[in-house]
Amino acid sequence: MDILSQIAFKVPEPLVEISENGLATLKLAEQQRGFVKSIHTTVTDSLKELTEYSKENRPDELVRTPFEYGGIVGRVESKPTSSVSYKTVFDEFDNYLRHEHNINRTKLLKTEELVGSFYDWLDNATNPTLEQKMYFDNEEEILIEAGITDERPEATTFFNDTSNYTNLNKDIILSRFKAKRIDDYLSNEIIKPFDRLLEETALDRLGLDADNLQETARITLSQDNRAFDVKVISRPTIGYRSILMTLFNDKITRATGRSGEIFALIDENVENVDDLIQQFDVKNRMTGRYVSLKRVARRLDELTAEHTKIKKRLEWTYNPILEFAAIAD
C-alpha cells in the first residue's frame, strides 16, 4: 500500500453568489479551511508545548522559551493571567441591590462595605489561566522563504501528511505559515463575503434596516434550484466590564482623572468628589460615607443602557427543497 506523503492543495477562485456554483465554492472553502486550520493549530500547539506549561501548570511570572529550527528563530512567552466573568459580578451586584431594596428595605449603603462586597464578587468570578504568545525574530524572511505575499495564494500548495505536524522542523514551521495564509484567504475572500451576501440579501428582501434591526429576521432565499433558510438575529450585547469599572475601578484613569465613581468616594488619592456626593446623595455618618441605594440603582440602569449595543448574528442552513423538486421533475 502506498503511503500518502504529500497533499496537493488547490484553493478555489472566489465566487460569492447565491447559486449552485456559489454554494459549491463555499463548501469547498469550508472543507479546505478546516484542513489548513488543523495544520496551523497543530504546529502552534506543538511550539507551545516546548514550554511544558499549561493552565494547570502555570509559571509564577513571565517566562520566555526560545526555539530554533533550521534558521527559524523565535520564542514562546508564557505568563500567568486570569479570566473574569464580569456578567457574574454584574448579576451579583444587581441581585444585591434588589435584595437590599425589596427584602431589607435598605435606603443607605455604606460605601466601604459596598466596595468590599464588589471585590469579593470579583475574586469569586476570577479564574487563573495561562497566556501564551508566540514571536518569530525573522518573520519577514520566513514569509519570503515560504513564498507568501500579499497576493492570492498560489494555485497549488503542497503539504506533508498531516500526521507528521507534531514533529517540529523547519519545513513544518514553514507549512504553518502557508496554512495560516490560506486560512485567511478562504475566510476573507469566500466564507465571510458569502455570509455577508446572505445577510444583506435577506434584510434587503424584507425591507429591513441593518443598523436598526430590532427583532430576528427570517426568510428563505432561493436561486435556481438552491434555497437557504436565513435568520438574522438581533440581540443586545452588554459591556459588563465597562459598567462595573465605571463604578468600582480602584485605579485612577487618564480619561476621568480619578478612580471609579463609587470607589472614588473612599479613595484618598481623589480630592474633588462634590459631583459624586450629589449624584449618589452621599450621607456622612460617624462610621463613614453612605450612598443612596436608590441612586446607585439608578446609576446602574443608566450605565447599562449606555453600554448596551444591538449586534447582529447570522444563522443559515441549506434547504434542499428546490433540489428535491428538480430531481422529481
Say whether both 120 and 264 belong to one domain: yes
> Residue 76 and residue 135: Cα distance in Å, rounded?
6
- Residues forming beta bridges with residue 77, ordered by sequence position: 64, 133
Confirm whether 291 is domain-assigned.
yes
Confirm whether 265 is domain-assigned.
yes
Say whether both 175 and 322 belong to one domain: yes
Confirm whether 72 is domain-assigned.
yes
Select the more confidently predicted residue: 139 or 150: 139
Say whether both 284 and 135 belong to one domain: no
Q: Among 50, 55, 65, 49, which Cα is nearest to 131's? A: 55
- Checking if the pLDDT of 17 tops 80, the result is yes
pLDDT, residue 106, reads: 93
- One-letter amino acid identity for 90? F
- Checking if the pLDDT of 88 tops 80, the result is yes
pLDDT, residue 6, reads: 74
CA distances from residue 261 to 202, 229, 242, 265, 303 in whole angstroms, order as listed:
44, 47, 12, 7, 12
Say whether both 142 and 255 belong to one domain: no
Confirm whether 1 is domain-assigned.
no
- Checking if the pLDDT of 206 tops 60, the result is yes
pLDDT, residue 157, reads: 84
- Checking if the pLDDT of 152 tops 90, the result is no
pLDDT, residue 1, reads: 32
Say whether both 295 and 190 belong to one domain: no
pLDDT, residue 327, reads: 47
Residues above pLDDT 70, as percent of the chain: 95
Lookup: cell for 122: 470579583
pLDDT, residue 328, reads: 44
CA distances from residue 309 to 97, 214, 265 in whole angstroms, order as listed:
24, 11, 29
Tell me the pLDDT tens digit for each residue of 173-185.
999 999 999 999 9
Q: Residue 236 has what DSSP assignment?
A: E
Instruction: Assess contact for 300 and 97: CB atoms under 8 A.
Output: yes
pLDDT, residue 214, reads: 81
Q: Where are the alpha helices (DSSP H) in 125-260?
A: 139-145, 170-186, 192-206, 240-248
Confidence of residue 5 (pLDDT cuts 50, 70, 90): low
Would the pTM of this model clear 0.85, i.e. be above it?
no
pLDDT, residue 199, reads: 94
Say whether both 161 and 211 belong to one domain: yes
- Checking if the pLDDT of 329 tops 50, the result is no
Q: What average pLDDT does the segment 134-162 reach?
A: 85
Say whether both 18 and 160 belong to one domain: yes
Say whether both 182 and 215 belong to one domain: yes
Lookup: cell for 9: 492543495
pLDDT, residue 255, reads: 87
Say whether both 109 and 142 belong to one domain: no
Confirm whether 178 is domain-assigned.
yes
Q: What average pLDDT does the segment 81-87 reach?
A: 97
Q: What average pLDDT does the segment 109-133 reach?
A: 97
Lowest mean pLDDT among 13-27, 193-207, 309-323: 309-323
Say whether both 111 and 72 belong to one domain: no
Say whether both 252 and 209 belong to one domain: no
Domains: count for the chain: 2
Say whether both 53 and 70 belong to one domain: yes
Q: Which domain holds residue 276?
A: 86-124+240-306
